[in-house]
Amino acid sequence: MSSSMSAAAEFIQSKSSLRPRVAVVLGSGLGAFAGALQDAVVIPYGEIPGWPVSTAVGHAGNLVLGTLDGFPVAVMAGRVHLYEGYTAQQAVYGVRVLAKLGVRSLVLTNAAGGINPDYQPGQAVLIGDHINLTGQNPLTGPNDENLGPRFPDMSEAYSRRFRDLARQAGRQAGIDLVEGVYAALAGPSYETPAEIRYLRAIGADLVGMSTVPETIAANHAGIKVLGISCVTNLAAGVTDQKLDHKEVLETGERMRGMMIDLLQRILPRLDEE
Ligand code: HPA
């Protein structure tokens, strides 16, 4: 894994002279953000040594290096999920390659179901913390001390400073960003109403099928994380409505403009240590 990660990093560096320290992973329906970059170099995942290729609808598979008003960023447009059959290690391959490339700050976006009754579909929520219910962890197995420590601290998995910066940026854009706890399940079936009641009882505000493996790998690698969930639907049983992946994608699409605005404001601020 480690040698193919070096090959991946070298390959990417041969395609672009940009050396971004800030990266973003785009969730369902948000791939279009990559189009907002200038001087963009688009690298299909399939061309990068060792990089797993996503099969989920709505998940383009490109690494894009470009600039936002001159500020270099790396964008992962599309990610692989545990429910596709990938291991947690494969799910975090991209994050580890970004770490090798020198990325120090990572924004993870996703589509999520809203468990908190105050949430509305179409709302963006900052991830304040997570609960890993996937049954997997990307750090399982021998620890590569070159990547990070055996037992990484997770007491501030989502940087408090980044959350403050994001809230400030949101205010300037007229977007009120509240904070919630994200529960990750392996999927791919959506939750039952009983599972959602359970998740609410244990303190979850949001539910989804991604992000947590990447957050763990990023913290392991010493990368600071900002997490933003797009509430694409109310979680199962919150209303009588059935869940539909098409609706999840459509709501994600409708949030695209707001998310692009937010990301453009936030990303350049995440560089100072
Ligand atoms: N549950 C799990 N994952 C999701 C949901 C949901 O309701 N909405 C978007 N991703």
- The confidence score (pLDDT) of residue 135 equals 97
Per mean pLDDT, which of 122-131, 229-238, 256-265 is the most reliable? 122-131
Q: Of 219, 240, 265, 217, give the one whose Cα is nearest residue 71.
A: 265
243 within ligand 1 shell (Cβ under 6 A): yes
Token code pair at residue 239? 């209303």
Q: What percent of the chain has pLDDT over 70?
A: 96
**CB distance 113 to ligand 1 below 6 Å:** yes
Is residue 259 among the annotated active site residues?
no
Of 32, 60, 154, 245, catalytic: 245
Catalytic (active site) residue 220: no
Mean pLDDT of the 96-100 span: 96
pLDDT at residue 128 greater than cutoff 70 = yes
**245 in active site:** yes
Q: What pLDDT shows up at residue 126?
A: 98
Q: Do residues 76 and 23 make contact, with C-beta atoms less than 8 angstroms apart?
A: yes
How far is the CA of 252 from the CAs of 2, 122, 128, 186, in angstroms?
34, 7, 21, 20
- Closest-CA residue, ligand 1 atom 6, reads 113
What's the CATH class of domain 2-270? alpha beta
Q: Looking at 28-32, 80-84, 147-151, which range is the least confident one? A: 28-32
209 catalytic residue (yes or no): yes
- Among the listed residues 91, 233, 235, 255, the single catalytic one is 233
Higher per-residue pLDDT: 36 or 165: 165
Residues 6+ apart with CB under 8 A from 75: 23, 24, 25, 26, 33, 34, 37, 63, 64, 65, 66
Which member of 9, 91, 209, 255 is catalytic? 209
Q: Is the CB of 121 under 6 A from ligand 1?
A: no
Q: CA 152 to CA 85: how far, in whole Å?
A: 26
Domain boundaries, the chain: 2-270
35 compared with 211, residue with greater pLDDT? 211
pLDDT of residue 59: 54
pLDDT tens per residue across span 103-115: 999 999 999 999 9
Chain center to CA of 244: 21
Token reading at 124: 């963006």
Enter the pTM of the model.
0.94
Is any ligand 1 atom within 6 A of the Cβ of residue 190? yes
Predicted confidence at residue 71, as pLDDT, reads 93
Q: Is 81 a catalytic residue?
A: yes
What pLDDT is stored for residue 69 in this prediction? Answer: 87
How much is the pLDDT for 32?
A: 78
Q: What is the per-residue pLDDT for 245?
A: 86
Q: What is the mean pLDDT of residues 214-237?
A: 96
Q: Which amino acid is at 153?
A: D
Closest ligand 1 atom to residue 185 Cα is 2
Averaged pLDDT for residues 143-148: 92
CA-CA distance, 78 to 48, in Å (whole number)?
14
pLDDT in tens, 23-69: 999 986 777 788 889 999 999 998 999 999 866 655 558 999 999 98
Tell me how far apart the alpha carbons of residues 167 and 162 are, in angstroms, rounded to a whole number.
9
Q: How does the average pLDDT of the chain come out, rounded?
A: 92
| Active-site residue identified among 16, 59, 190, 221 | 59
Q: How confident is the model at residue 224 (pLDDT cuts 50, 70, 90)?
A: very high
Residues 6 or more apart whose Cβ sits within 8 Å of residue 227: 107, 108, 109, 110, 126, 127, 130, 158, 182, 211, 215
Class of residue 221 by CB neighbours under 10 A (exposed 0-12, middle 13-18, buried 19+): buried
- pLDDT for the residue 58: 52
C-alpha–C-alpha distance, residues 71 and 267, integer Å:
9
Give residue 217 CA to ligand 1 midpoint distance, Å: 22
Q: What is the pLDDT of residues 181-198, one digit of tens each?
A: 999 999 999 999 999 999
Nearest CA to ligand 1 atom 9: 112
